[in-house]
């Protein structure tokens, strides 16, 4: 029998091929799933395909799909959350989720351009996209003191797209982590392009935001909190992602790994991961989501690789067993966006297959330099 890793890679490649459609202008775009549930290309989902299974999409198609999204950049720098096959750009997730774009699209676009540079070995696309990337990053709502992403409590709206129906307000963790990552990757590309002063400025800003992440630390929970005001709750995904990119100082990283390992029973089911540990549900919603479903208590494969990588630092056999459970569940019942007992949503969801592959390729992945 093929290994879990080889099966998952083949499945990810199959799903990416199934999600590929041709837009009105002939551009190949990639939907989040191959079951025609989500129609169009989302910035974050496309990024998760590319960074999870980069060899499955040719470089010229990555660049063309990025241009298809960048064509919708607004005068204020904001990027579309998604672009539909007919070329319509959509900036807001849904009317109930506020009138501002999610706070993660610029970071994901930087990550996509960085992935293209690493795959193609050429900075031409970065040089082309650079003015748009700078404008997009500038459009993000940020707290001036800390540099962290800020969602105005008086005007709640979507933040990180995989919690776009959740009303986190104040300082927001996950999009801030993505900002640290994006600024550091932007600095790498600036340096490689021969702009050392611009690289230093981006690197310094990444360091400022990274240090501010400690604002979210909750020693009592051993995890970072999702936000500073509404939904001030221990964030499983965000804490694991912080470890994944190497953002926390060593003592906090070790505490997160222990907390996730000790609480696996309330976090992991069938190898998939809840946003919050049982029995919690989000305190503030932007849409009506029943407890135990979708972003309010279902279990997702999207975060499985990040969580397994953190657990592996404390208990490697349990992390291995978790990923084997994940692949076994996929093989038995298909790859879904999220699941729970008696509940499944959106079959053929590509990020559920592509992102856990990163765990197996850990030695090739990018991480922030060690904390000073």
Identify the bridge partners of residue 340 per DSSP, sorted by sequence position.
Answer: 343
pLDDT per residue as tens digits for the range 309-329: 999 999 999 999 999 999 999
- Both structure tokens of 94: 């849904």
Please give the angle made by the CA atoms of 12, 13 and 19, to the nearest 5 degrees: 85
Say what the pLDDT of residue 248 is.
97
Cα-based distances in Å from 76 to 101, 131, 132, 134, 293: 11, 13, 11, 11, 35
Say what the pLDDT of residue 367 is.
59
Say what the pLDDT of residue 86 is.
97
DSSP 370: P
| Paired sense of beta strands 82-83 and 268-269, if any | unpaired
At residue 248, the 3 state secondary structure works out as coil
Residue 343 predicted with pLDDT over 60: yes
Residue 115 predicted with pLDDT over 50: yes
At 25, is the pLDDT very low, low, confident or very high (cuts 50, 70, 90)? very high
Say what the pLDDT of residue 3 is.
85
- Both structure tokens of 188: 């790498």
Mean pLDDT along residues 222-233: 98
134-164: burial string, b at 16+ Cβ within 10 Å, e else: bbbbebbbbbeebbbbbbeeeebbbbbbbbb
Q: How far is residue 301's CA from residue 339's CA, in Å, rounded to a whole number? A: 9
Mean pLDDT along residues 206-232: 98
- Entry pTM: 0.96
Q: How far is residue 77's CA from residue 80's CA, in Å, rounded to a whole number? A: 10
Mean pLDDT of the chain: 94
Long-range contacts at 137-140 (CB < 8 A, ≥ 24 apart): 137/77, 137/106, 137/107, 137/110, 137/179, 137/182, 137/183, 137/186, 138/77, 139/76, 139/77, 139/78, 139/79, 139/106, 140/103, 140/106, 140/175, 140/179
Sign of CA dihedral 122, 43, 182, 79: positive
The full set of domain ranges for the chain reads: 4-364
- Residue pointed to by tokens 């604002």: 215
Strands laid side by side in the 41-42 sheet: 41-42, 82-83, 89-90
Say what the pLDDT of residue 363 is.
46
Residue 36 predicted with pLDDT over 90: no
The CATH code that applies to domain 4-364 is: 1.50.10.10
Residue 132 predicted with pLDDT over 90: yes
pLDDT per residue as tens digits for the range 77-97: 999 999 999 999 999 876 666
Say what the pLDDT of residue 26 is.
98
């Amino acid at each position: 029998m093929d290994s879990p890793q080889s099966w998952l890679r083949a499945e990810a490649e199959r799903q990416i091929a199934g999600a590929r459609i041709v837009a009105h202008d002939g551009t190949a775009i990639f939907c989040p799933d191959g079951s025609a549930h989500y129609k169009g290309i989302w910035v974050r989902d496309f990024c998760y395909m590319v960074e999870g299974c980069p060899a499955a999409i040719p470089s010229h198609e990555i660049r063309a799909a990025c241009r298809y999204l960048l064509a919708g950049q607004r005068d204020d720098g904001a990027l579309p959350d998604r672009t539909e096959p007919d070329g319509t750009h959509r900036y807001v997730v849904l009317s109930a989720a506020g009138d501002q774009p999610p706070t993660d699209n610029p970071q994901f676009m930087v990550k996509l351009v960085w992935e293209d540079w690493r795959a193609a070995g050429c900075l031409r696309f970065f040089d082309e996209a650079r003015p748009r990337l700078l404008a997009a990053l500038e459009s993000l709502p940020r707290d001036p003191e800390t540099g962290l992403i800020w969602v105005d409590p008086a005007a709640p709206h979507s933040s990180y797209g995989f919690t776009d129906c959740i009303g986190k307000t104040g300082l927001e963790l996950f999009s801030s982590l993505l900002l640290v990552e994006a600024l550091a990757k932007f600095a790498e590309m600036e340096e490689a392009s021969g702009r050392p002063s611009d690289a230093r400025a981006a690197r310094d800003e990444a360091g400022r935001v990274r240090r501010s992440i400690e604002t979210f630390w909750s020693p009592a929970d051993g995890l970072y909190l999702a936000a500073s005001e509404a939904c001030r709750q221990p964030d499983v995904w965000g804490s694991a992602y912080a470890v994944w990119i190497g953002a926390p100082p060593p003592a906090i990283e070790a505490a997160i790994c222990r907390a996730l390992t000790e609480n696996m029973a309330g976090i992991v089911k069938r190898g998939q991961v809840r946003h919050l540990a049982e029995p919690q549900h989000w305190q503030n919603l932007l849409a009506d989501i029943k407890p135990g479903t979708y972003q309010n208590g279902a279990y997702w494969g999207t975060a499985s690789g990040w969580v397994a990588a953190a657990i592996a630092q404390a208990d490697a056999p349990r992390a291995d067993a978790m990923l084997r459970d994940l692949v076994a569940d996929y093989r038995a019942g298909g790859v879904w966006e999220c699941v729970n007992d008696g509940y499944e949503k959106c079959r053929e969801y590509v990020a559920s297959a592509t992102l856990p592959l990163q765990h197996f390729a850990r030695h090739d992945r990018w991480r922030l330099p060690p904390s000073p």
